[in-house]
Amino acid sequence: MANIQVLTTMFYSHGQMYSQEMREQSFTDWPFREECNCTPEKMAKAGFVHCPSENEPDVACCFFCLIELEGWEPDDDPWSEHVKRSPDCGFITMKKDFTELTVAEFYQMENARFKIYYRKVCHKKMACLRDDIDHTLESLKSQLDDL
């Protein structure tokens, strides 16, 4: 369930990430700086926030579609990587700057973002349930074998 709590925190904090400046601030420990295509500024422009883990220091997540990409190379272009892996992302397909959205457009964007979040949470919960079922089945088989 810890993963679900992380997702919930991400959902609410990522709501502030419509601001490119806020996204860029998340890249304080980003391993790629000058003379790279995937600088913090370019990553933020492409909708990414930096969400490193202990084992993966270069994980970036789109605040909108929640796609997580890792294994960045200095020559990788954040915008094209995002488009390639999530072409229907609402951030990518947004036709105007966030500051120019009407209240109705923002509401539609947030509604779409919530659906993506909810789908991801449901998939994670189903995966946990499948793992629990598999573990229970293995345990039952082991007990039957001992009879």
Q: Which tokens in the block code for residue 83?
A: 């488009």
- pLDDT of 44 reads 95
pLDDT digits (tens, 9 = 90+) for 104-137: 988 898 898 889 888 888 888 899 999 999 999 9
pLDDT confidence of residue 96: 82
Whether 88 has a pLDDT exceeding 50, the answer reads yes
Which CATH number characterizes residue 133's domain? 1.10.1170.10
- pLDDT band at residue 14, thresholds of 50, 70 and 90? low
Give the number of domains in the chain: 1
Show the domain range for 66: 2-145
Note the pLDDT tens digit of each residue in 50-74: 988 888 889 999 999 999 999 999 9
| 94 or 15, greater pLDDT | 94
Residue 2 has a pLDDT of: 44
